[in-house]
Amino acid sequence: MLLAADGRTYIEALLLGLIEGLTEFLPVSSTGHILLAGHFMGFESTGKTFEVVIQLGAILALLLVYAQRLLGVAVAAPGDPKARRFIASILIAFLPAAVIGALGHDYIKDVLFESPGLICATLIGGGFILLVVDRLKLPVRHADAMAYPIPMAFGIGLCQCLAMVPGVSRSGATIVGALLMGADKRSAAEFSFFLAMPTMVGAVVYDVYKNRDVLDFSDTALIAVGFVTAFITALLVVRALLEFVSRRGFAVFGWWRIAVGVAGLAGLSLLG
């Protein structure tokens, strides 16, 4: 079961929910941040119940922001080829991660998720990649996230598979992939949002299924604190991120990743 619910663990739940909401859709790796923070705080939950469920708060925020547009696509799909192509592009982009995630689930959760040193290294490496890509003068051929060609969507989906390694960042991998394939910064971030919906929902559902025998929802108050905090903060991030990256790019996130990775390595060397 979760750690005993006292004042300290409620504060930890709030902090972890805040981290989840702030980082889920940024190219900085929410999983890496959550795992490192939990490691240093000593926060544990059986079967990672808490860590899994609070992701639903971030998903709910994303669905709320895009509800009107998604409903429009669903209504238009029967008679609109563009709407059908958009739906197909998201499903095709989702497919590689669905297959690899299912096949490698146990290794990812039991080995990679328990390797804080690896997480720090991938945070730092991904930060440098993000800095380099952000500085490149790449030709822009696609500025509408809802009109990416199917082969491009599949390529972005393959890039997303790199995020099976915690610290890589699902949004970071998909955004970098989209930029290298000719997307502008705003649409790259937006396509990453759309792709997050089936990916995150699928990951949570499959993880809950795989851990159904050990999941413990007895401490619902802690889970509720993390869920609500993740929802509110993710809602603010999603609304602000597109405008920010359109003007500022992704360099600040690259530097942040490097700083967190270095701080994590320092903490591991000092505290274990």
What confidence tens digit (pLDDT) does each residue in 211-235 have? 777 766 667 888 899 999 999 999 9
Token reading at 9:
């663990």
Q: Mapped to the 3 state alphabet, what secondary structure does the chain carry?
A: CCCCCCHHHHHHHHHHHHHHHHHCCCCCCHHHHHHHHHHHHCCCCHHHHHHHHCHHHHHHHHHHHCHHHHHHHHHHCCCCHHHHHHHHHHHHHHHHHHHHHHHHHHHHHHCHHHCHHHHHHHHHHHHHHHHHHHHCCCCCCECCHHHCCHHHHHHHHHHHHHHHCCCCCHHHHHHHHHHHCCECHHHHHHHHHHHHHHHHHHHHHHHHHHCCCCCCCCCHHHHHHHHHHHHHHHHHHHHHHHHHHHHHCCHHHHHHHHHHHHHHHHHHHHHC
Residues (pLDDT < 50) of the chain are 1-3
Give me the pLDDT at residue 46, please: 64
With beta carbons less than 8 A apart as the criterion, state whether 30 and 202 touch.
Answer: no
Q: Report the domain count for the chain.
A: 1
Closest Cα to residue 253, out of 29, 31, 61?
29
Give me the pLDDT at residue 199, please: 93
Residues 6 or more apart in contact with residue 126 via CB below 8 angstroms: 27, 29, 167, 168, 169, 172, 254, 257
CA distance 45 to 226: 13
CA distance 69 to 51: 29
Tell me whether residue 1 is in a domain: no
Give me the pLDDT at residue 43, please: 81
Token reading at 137:
């003068």
Give me the pLDDT at residue 1, please: 43
Give me the pLDDT at residue 52, please: 76
Instruction: Dump pLDDT digits (tens) for 141-155.
Output: 999 999 999 999 999
Give me the pLDDT at residue 100, please: 94
Tell me whether residue 184 is in a domain: yes
Tell me whether residue 2 is in a domain: no
Owning domain of residue 73: 7-271
- Give the position of tokens 């005993």: 4
Closest Cα to residue 126, out of 29, 245, 30?
29
Tell me whether residue 13 is in a domain: yes
Give me the pLDDT at residue 217, please: 67
Instruction: Dump pLDDT digits (tens) for 172-195.
Output: 999 999 999 999 999 999 999 999
Token reading at 75:
């209504």
Tell me whether residue 221 is in a domain: yes
CA distance 32 to 98: 20
